[in-house]
A and B are shown apart, each in its own frame.
Chain A
C-alpha cells in the first residue's frame, strides 16, 4: 500500500460533493470521469433517527494494484518511493483493461481524450508539500491526508474522549 492514508471523518461529512468538483476542476476534466466520488447510502431510520452514509471513493492505491498488472502498455504505474498508483497518459492507449481489472471502479473513462483518468492523490501537489485537491478545500475539513499512523490517531483520540469518565473512575 502507499504510505499515505486518506481519512474521511464520516461524522463531519455532509455529502456536499465539493471534493469531487475540486478534483475535477484541478485536473480540468470534462463531464464524465470522477477520480473521486461521494456515494450516498440512505437515509434509513436507525433508532428513530434518519441517518445517511456518504461513502468517499477515491483510488485506494493498493499494495499489489491489479490495474498496474493488467495494463499492457505500462501506462499504469506505482511510484516506488511512496506507493502512489498513477497513470502516465502519454502511454495510455485507452484499452480499458485497468477499468476491467479494478474491483472498485477507480479508473475513470475520459470520453474527450479516449484515455483513463485516475486519482493519483494529486501527486504533483503532494510533491510540493501540499495536500490533494479534495482534502485541501473540503467544506467541513472531514477529509484528511497524511501518514497512516497519524490518521488512526484521530479515531483513537476521539474514542478516548467519548469514553473518558472523570467520575467514579480509576482513569
Chain B
C-alpha cells in the first residue's frame, strides 16, 4: 500500500513541513511540503537523512534499566510495564521523602511541552526547565525589556529586506528552510548582506561585506553605529519620536563611543562603520539588524542583544516590511488556538524554582523556560533545597550545560535519572532508565500553533508504525503520571485523542489537515498599524530606558567594559554549528556521520605556526575545568584571538558506535559562566591553551 502523509520534520527543532511517501509500510521518500511557500519541496541535509535515522539500528529499541554503575553501559531490556512501574515507584519514594519539588524535568521545547509541564504542575514541582535559556535566554530578556514581548513573539521579514546585518548568525549553515530561501530570494532581488564573525562561514562567503571582528566586541561596534546614527541624524525621526522611550539617555550614553574608539576595540576601520550606518539609513525601514538565534556568548549578552534591537528601532524597522515584526496569533485573525493541557487547574505550588528565575535573586530570566545552567549548582549545593530526580526529555544536560565534569557530579547526587529520547545520547547513557520515544516518522504529535504574519496550525502525523518497542513521549508521561495518581490530567489514550482534544473549538477538524498538512486562519499577512503599535512595556513604548531592568536594580546603559584579550598565549574558545548536524543529536545518524564524523579545532595559521601546530595534527585543548584532544584545522579564516569548534561531538555513549569518542565535546572545556541579568550562558567566555602533542 502506498500513501503520502503530510507531517513535520524533526531532525532539528525547526519543524519544517514535509511530505512523506510510504511504500509497503516503509518510508520510501521524504521531501519538503510543496504547498508551503519558502519550502517548495526542498529538504535540508539533516531532513534528507531522516530515512537513514529511521532505519538505523543504533537507536534505543526498547525500555532499558541500568544494571551496572551509572555510565557503565550495562543495561537490561525491560517491558514498558516494568519500566513505567520502576520509574513510578522510584519517583513516588522520592516525592514521599523529599516532596514533589525534588523532581525536575528538562527538555528541548517541543510540541508536547505542554504535556511535560502538566506532568510537573500536577505533581506540584516548579522545576520544569528547557534548553531555551541555554540558547537564547538573554535574547528573550532583551526583547521583553524593550518591547514587552518575548523573542518567540518576534519574527524577521527576510523576503523584502534591502539590507541585513548578521552578527555571527550563520543562516546558510544553520538551515531553517524557509529562512534560507526567503533570504536567498531577497539577495537575488538585490538585498545587501553584511556578515560579522571572527570566523569565515558559508554565510560570510555569500556576503557583500564581511568583518572579521575581534571576538567579543560586537557591543562596541553597535555603540559606535548608534553614535554615528544619532550624530548624523540617520534614524527614522518620525518613528523614533513616536515610539522610543529614552532616546536622549541613549544619545548621552553613546557620545564617547566614536567609530575611532570602536576601531581600536573591534579591529573594524572607523570609516567602514560610518559607511554601514549610512547605508542602513538609506534603505530604512526595510533593513534588519539580526538579533540572533543563539544569543549565549558573553556575560554582558543582554546588552549586546538589546543594542541590536535598538538599532532596528532607530531605523524604524520594527513592524515594517523587510524589517522585524511581531508574530500574530489566531486571535489576530479572529480565530482560536489549539488547547493545551496546561490550561487545566492545578494545585498551587509554593516552592521557588531551583534556578530562582523570577524571584528577587534572579529576577529577569523567563521562568517559563528556567535557567538550565544553574541546575548543577542547585543540586550540588541543595540550594534552595535538595533535588533528587531528573527526567531528561530529549535534552542532554551533559553536553549542553558547560562544564560536563561538574554536571556529572551533580547527576551523581541524584537518586534517579530517567531519559526519554530516541537516541543513545550521553544523558541516556548516564541514566538509570531509558524510555525510548518513537521517532517523528513513527508518531503523531501535538498541534503546532504557528504564529506569524499569517497564523497557521501544522500537524506532525505518523507515517509508519514504530519499528521498535517505543512510545510517544506524551503517552510515556501519561503512564508514569497514572502510577503517581495524576492520571486525570491526561485525558487521552492515544496521540490522536490528544490532538482531537486540542483542536476542539478551533473550527478545524483533522480532515482539514489532510489537504495541505496545515490550516490557515486567514490568507493575508497581518501587519499592525504603525501609528498604533501595542507594545507591552509599562510606557507602551520601546524602552531604551528599561523599566524591566531598572526596577530590578540594573542599569539601562551600563558603561562599556573593554574586552580583554586572552593572556599567556591562550585563545578565546568560540563554538557554532554546521549544516550537517543538529546540536548533540545527529552525530550518529549514518548519512550525516559519513559526511562529518568529528569536529576540528580551527586555529589561525600564524598562531598555529608559533605553537608548532600543523594542520590535521592532534592537539590538547585545556581550560580551567577540562581538557581534551582534537585535530587542528589550521586556517587564515579565523581571528588570531579565537579558536573554534563545532558543538555536539565527543560522545561517550558506547552503543552509538559511529559517534562514540569522535572529536571533542565543547561542554567539557567550557566554564559554567553566564549573563547574570539576561540568563544566557557565556559560552564564549572561556580561555583555553592549545598544546601540540
Contacts and interface: CB of A to CB of B under 8 A. Distances in A.
A129 interface: no
B280 to A, nearest CB: 19
A51 interface: yes
Contacts of B48: 18, 21-22, 25, 137
Interface in A100-146: 136-141
A127 B437 CA distance: 39
A77 B469 CA distance: 45
B107 interface: no
B206 A14 contact: yes
A14 B41 contact: no
Given A12-B184, A50-B200, A51-B205, A140 B42 contact: yes
Contact of A17 (B29, B207, B580): B580
Contact of B172 (A14, A24, A25, A43): A14
B49 A141 contact: no
Interface string B23-46: 000000111100000001111110
B579 A16 contact: yes
Contacts of A50: 200, 204-205, 207, 210, 637
Interface in B185-234: 188, 200, 202, 204-210
Nearest to A137: B43
A43 B205 contact: yes
Nearest to B209: A49
B175, B205, B637 pick with most chain A CB within 10 angstroms: B205
B678 interface: no
Nearest to A54: B202
B42 A31 contact: no
A121 B420 CA distance: 41
A26 interface: yes
A15 B202 CA distance: 8
B182 to A, nearest CB: 11
Contacts of A22: 43, 48
Nearest to B183: A140
B415 interface: no
B173 A14 contact: yes
A136 B41 contact: yes
A49 B195 CA distance: 11
A21 B45 contact: yes
Contacts of B31: 136-137
Contact of A137 (B42, B200, B210, B590): B42
Nearest to A28: B51
A140 B175 CA distance: 10
Contacts of B637: 43, 50
A24 B636 CA distance: 34
B591 interface: yes
Interface residues of B, number: 41
Contacts of A141: 40, 42, 181
Interface in A43-97: 43, 45, 49-52
Contacts of A138: 42
B204 A25 contact: no
Nearest to A22: B48
Nearest to B195: A50
A139 B29 contact: no
A18 B591 contact: no
B177 interface: yes
A52 B202 contact: yes
B181 A21 contact: no
A16 B11 CA distance: 15
B1 interface: no
A51 B48 CA distance: 26
A25 B49 contact: yes
B594 interface: yes
Question: Interface range on chain A: under 10, 10 to 19, 20 to 34, or 35 or more?
Answer: 20 to 34
Interface in A13-42: 14-18, 20-22, 24-26, 31, 42
Contacts of A43: 200, 204-205, 637
B44 A139 contact: yes
A15 B592 CA distance: 14
B526 interface: no
Given A14-B202, A26-B29, A43-B200, A139 B594 contact: no
B595 interface: yes
B52 interface: yes
B154 interface: no
Given A22-B48, A137-B43, A138-B42, A14 B204 contact: no
Given A14-B579, A136-B31, A139-B42, A25 B52 contact: yes
Given A31-B590, A51-B205, A17 B579 contact: yes
Contacts of A16: 44-45, 172-173, 175, 579-580
Contacts of B618: none
B500 interface: no
B595 to A, nearest CB: 6
Given A12-B184, A21-B45, A49 B591 contact: no
B32 A137 contact: yes
B180 interface: yes
Interface string B262-304: 0000000000000000000000000000000000000000000
Given A24-B591, A31-B590, A18 B205 contact: no
A14 B29 CA distance: 23
Contacts of A14: 172-173, 175, 180, 202, 206, 579
Contacts of A49: 205, 207-210
B124 to A, nearest CB: 46
Contacts of B29: 26
B45 A18 contact: yes
A15 B206 CA distance: 11
Nearest to B592: A21
Given A25-B51, A49-B207, A140 B202 contact: no
A127 to B, nearest CB: 16
A12 B637 CA distance: 22
A21 to B, nearest CB: 4
Nearest to A133: B29
A20 B580 CA distance: 12
Given A14-B173, A21-B591, A50-B200, A140 B205 contact: no
A18 B44 contact: yes
Interface in B406-460: none
A141 B44 CA distance: 11
A11 B48 CA distance: 22
Nearest to A40: B202
Contacts of B180: 14, 139-140
A17 B202 contact: no
A22 B43 CA distance: 9
A17, A24, A136 pick with most chain B CB within 10 angstroms: A17
Contacts of B184: 12, 140
Contacts of B175: 14, 16, 139
A33 B42 CA distance: 23
Contacts of A31: 590, 594
Contact of A21 (B32, B188, B207, B595): B595
19 contacts: A11-B188, A16-B44, A18-B45, A18-B579, A20-B45, A20-B595, A21-B48, A21-B49, A21-B591, A25-B48, A25-B591, A49-B205, A50-B210, A50-B637, A137-B30, A137-B42, A139-B42, A139-B45, A141-B40
Given A14-B180, A51-B205, 10 more contacts: A14-B175, A21-B48, A21-B591, A43-B204, A49-B208, A50-B204, A136-B31, A137-B32, A137-B42, A140-B42
Closest 6 CB pairs of A and B: A137-B43, A21-B48, A52-B205, A16-B579, A18-B45, A14-B172
Interface of B: 29-32, 40-45, 47-49, 51-52, 172-173, 175, 177, 180-181, 184, 188, 200, 202, 204-210, 579-580, 590-592, 594-595, 636-637
